């Protein structure tokens, strides 16, 4: 096939920012490719992946509701297997393989956008939220050899996740103040702050030595990030996580360095 086809499998996918972000990369590097959204029936995931393979599709991103089910229809790598979710399928090998670039993307966002003095190895990281996003971020941070404290509204879910993640401990939200006093990194992986001016973290628990990253990207400037900036913390907004999960997928599929600036511009101009 002359033209490479990439895409997103989800249902719904209407509001996705992935097509313009990836197509900006193809344009920048003069790659003849398209990034298409697909909305298969939730029961048809396996047929969709087999069909994509048969048609010569190069790569697919995977989103709700297919991230977990995709584990069973591709060969997942170790990280995707441990996280329990695939967000990227690579068709360039003998058989489709599954990966999770949400984890690597979050790490890369922290590494590239935080102050150069932040080393994740040995860092004390607090992840708020134990849902799908929290899982990926907690496993990613543990892989980078950070110590991970997971705080969740439903405390039992934080303990369950912490049991699976190396060097992790689970807590309720009431522990945040104490945890943050000695923390280097804080990541909001809850939906709090999306479309509402709310934060899951008390402002007076924040301090200037923190790097604070928010998975929420609508709005870009969440109340958490404003509170963090007010105390002099380094802030990393949710668009960086979205960007770098796409960057990591692009690089896996194409074997080339992603044109990060062009992808970032395409993304941010739409937020």
Is 215 labeled as ligand-binding?
yes
* Closer residue to ligand ATR, CB minimum distance, 8 or 260: 8
> By rule CB under 6 A, what string of x and - marks binding of each residue 131-150 to ligand ATR?
xxxx----------------
Nearer to ligand ATR, 130 or 263 (CB): 130
Nearer to ligand ATR, 196 or 230 (CB): 196
Per CB under 6 A, the list member of 3, 39, 122, 154 interacting with ligand ATR is 154
The two three-digit tokens of residue 68, written as one number: 């977990």
In the bound complex, which residue of the shown chain has the CB atom lying closest to ligand ATR?
A: 131
Among 157, 207, 226, 268, binds ligand ATR (CB under 6 A): 157
In whole angstroms, the minimum distance from the beta carbon of 152 to ligand ATR comes to 5
β-strands 59-62, 88-90 pairing: antiparallel
Rounded to an integer, what distance in angstroms lies between the CA atom of residue 185 and that of residue 201? 13
Cα 52 to Cα 170: distance, rounded to the nearest angstrom: 40
Residues 67-86 that bind ligand ATR (CB under 6 A): none
| Closer residue to ligand ATR (CB): 241 or 247 | 241
Site for ligand ATR in 161-220 (CB under 6 A): 189-192, 200
Q: Is 109 part of any known ligand binding site?
A: no
Pick from 68, 111, 153, 159: which binds ligand ATR (CB under 6 A)? 153
Q: Is 245 annotated as a binding residue?
A: yes
Active site residues: 67
Among 130, 183, 236, 263, binds ligand ATR (CB under 6 A): 130
Binding site for ligand ATR (CB under 6 A): 129-134, 152-154, 157, 189-192, 200
């Amino acid at each position: 096939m002359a033209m490479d086809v990439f895409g997103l499998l989800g249902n719904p996918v209407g509001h996705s920012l992935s097509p313009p972000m990836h197509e900006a990369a193809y344009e920048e590097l003069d790659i003849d490719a398209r990034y298409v959204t697909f909305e298969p029936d939730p029961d048809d995931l396996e047929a969709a992946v087999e069909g994509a393979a048969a048609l010569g599709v190069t790569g697919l991103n995977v989103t709700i509701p297919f991230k977990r089910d995709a584990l069973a229809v591709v060969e997942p790598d170790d990280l995707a297997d441990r996280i329990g979710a695939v967000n990227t399928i690579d068709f360039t090998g003998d058989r489709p393989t599954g990966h999770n670039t949400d984890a690597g993307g979050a790490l890369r966002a922290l590494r590239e956008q935080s102050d150069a003095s932040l080393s994740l190895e040995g860092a004390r990281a607090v992840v708020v939220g134990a849902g799908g996003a929290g899982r990926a971020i907690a496993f990613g941070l543990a892989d980078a050899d950070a110590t991970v404290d997971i705080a969740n509204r439903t405390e039992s879910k934080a303990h369950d996740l912490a049991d699976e993640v190396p060097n992790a401990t689970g807590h309720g939200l009431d522990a945040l103040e104490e945890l943050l006093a000695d923390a280097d990194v804080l990541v909001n992986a809850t939906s709090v702050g999306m479309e509402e001016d709310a934060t899951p973290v008390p402002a007076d628990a924040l301090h200037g030595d923190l790097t604070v990253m928010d998975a929420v990207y609508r709005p870009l400037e969440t109340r958490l990030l404003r509170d963090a900036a007010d105390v002099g913390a380094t802030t990393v907004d949710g668009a960086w996580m979205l960007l770098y999960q796409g960057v990591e997928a692009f690089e896996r599929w194409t074997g080339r360095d992603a044109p990060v600036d062009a992808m970032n511009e395409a993304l941010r101009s739409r937020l």
